């Protein structure tokens, strides 16, 4: 059984659209506790810590009978947008989102998503989870933005969508019309590389 250690609605939708059976549970991990300057390493470490946190607390979850014994694959993901060497998380307010989009207009950046799969077996009788394998990788995609007028940026920022997204944009949302093209994995820009997951989930 695949467990998505995230409350992300975009990742949830990606898995549902692909008809991959899964359970979604928040990892409960404090992202601010990780201090890492390298953006690629940061995305990977955050994904690992999310999956690890859930694996360490899996025995506290009340499972339906059919899930109480057997293999589990815990998936942790974290996305960070890099623009000219600077990490862009979620903008703190509309002013910051507007300033970012002014910079990104007509430019490109890199969306890095750290992926971690912790594979193991949960035994409800002994209430233990034994890890058998850990698979980790950061997948990067290059995102090209349209050249926008100030009124277009303001209109987009006023929707509040940028405030809830890594990098200040959502490919699958309103912001999708401001993205010219993508080089690399498409679904990765939405927070989860489906080709990576398919390759590693069924090894």
Q: Spell out the alpha helix ranges (H) of the chain.
A: 9-17, 39-56, 94-104, 150-157, 194-201
Known catalytic residues?
78
CB distance 203 to 23 below 8 Å? no
Three-state secondary-structure class, residue 110: strand
48: which 2 tokens?
């690992």
29: which 2 tokens?
């991990």
CA separation for the pair 182, 66 (Å, rounded): 41
* Ramachandran sector of residue 61 (left: φ over 0; alpha: ψ -120 to 50; beta: rest): beta
């Amino acid at each position: 059984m695949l467990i998505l250690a995230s409350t992300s609605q975009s990742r949830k939708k990606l898995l549902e659209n692909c008809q991959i059976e899964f359970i979604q549970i928040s990892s409960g991990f404090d992202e601010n506790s990780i201090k890492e300057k390298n953006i690629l390493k940061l995305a990977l470490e955050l994904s690992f810590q999310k999956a690890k946190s859930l694996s360490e607390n899996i025995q506290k979850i009340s499972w339906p009978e059919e899930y109480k014994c057997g293999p589990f694959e815990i998936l942790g993901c974290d996305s960070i947008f890099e623009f000219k060497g600077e990490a862009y998380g979620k903008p703190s307010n509309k002013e910051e989102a507007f300033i970012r989009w002014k910079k990104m207009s007509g430019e490109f950046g890199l969306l890095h998503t750290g992926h971690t799969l912790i594979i193991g077996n949960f035994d409800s009788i002994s209430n233990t989870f034994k890890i058998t394998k850990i698979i980790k990788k950061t997948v990067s995609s290059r995102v090209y933005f349209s050249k926008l007028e100030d009124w277009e940026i303001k209109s987009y920022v006023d929707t509040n969508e940028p405030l809830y997204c890594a990098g200040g944009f959502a490919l699958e949302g309103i912001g999708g019309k401001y993205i010219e093209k993508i080089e690399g994995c498409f679904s990765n820009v939405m927070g989860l590389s489906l080709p990576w997951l398919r390759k590693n989930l069924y090894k």
